[in-house]
Amino acid sequence: MVPISTVNLKPNDPNVLVVATYGRSVWTYTFTDPLANPPAVASPLCVNPTDVPPAPAGTAVSGPFDFDLSDGGWTASSSNPALNLWKRATPGDGSALSWQTIPYNGAATGSVTTSVVSPKLDWTGGWLYVDFADRLDTEPGFDYMFVDWSCDGGGTWSTVPWVWDKASGGWSGSHAFTGQNPAFPLFDQDCAAFKAPAGPVNLRFRFVADDLVGTPPYTGAAFDNVTIKR
């Protein structure tokens, strides 16, 4: 039997509906009221500059954290721990364990935000670069992982303004991770950058999932091997 038509949301854009009719044509419909993507967060205290990061010195100031033998002082929390919480589990990036939200909530459970926060770094001020491995298999355009930083002990947070784009060989202002990473089911290596004032600095990985689709069919997000450099 030949299918008469298909109706799907456009990949990576939940605000566009694509309708294809056999032997006819393809139509797109853009919803009048767009579905808002999970926002980047912005602290009034921990302000991101607009300038592009310079080349890193490459000296580690915190880590590396591989999470195999312990949590390394990182702590997890969730808006609904019964549905979704970062935990250490297999596999890791070439190792036993990683932090992951696998599985994660799905239909009719409500939107969930879950975070895992680093131990405090006493920083002298200036640019910081976060090297990490990540593995993503989330509903594209709906479920996101962010990297955030705090300069007030976790009271307020800002999303890192820059992520290294390996394809272009430069820094990108697209700082949300969604869909599937290129090497999946293996991990990819990523780098994020932000400029923090002198004082305490914390880092967190934040995962935001809506209530449309989760596991199955998607498995979730994971990160491993975190090093913070100057």
Among candidates 48, 63, 42, which has minimal Cα distance to 157? Answer: 42
With CA atoms as reference, report the closest residue to 63 among 222, 206, 203: 203
The arithmetic mean of pLDDT across residues 20-32, rounded, is 75
Helices (H), the chain: none
By CB atoms closer than 10 A (0-12, 13-18, 19+), residue 152 is middle
The least confident of 52-56, 75-79, 93-97, 139-143 is 139-143
36-45, 95-104, 166-175, range with the lowest pLDDT:
36-45
Q: What is the pLDDT of residue 13?
A: 59
Strand partners of residue 127:
195
Interacting residues of 39 by C-beta distance below 8 A, sequence separation 6+? none
pLDDT of residue 138: 94
pLDDT above 60: residue 35: no
pLDDT at 91: 96
| pLDDT band for position 57 (cuts 50, 70, 90) | very high
Q: How confident is the model at residue 181 (pLDDT cuts 50, 70, 90)?
A: very high
Residue 15 neighbours by CB under 8 Å, 6+ apart: 30, 31, 34, 35
CA-based nearest residue to 87, from 229, 227, 221, 226: 221
By mean pLDDT, which of 32-46, 88-102, 171-185, 190-204 is the weakest? 32-46
Q: Which residues pair with 143 in a beta bridge?
A: none
Listed residue (223, 42, 230) closest to 118, CA to CA: 223
What single-letter amino acid sits at 103? P
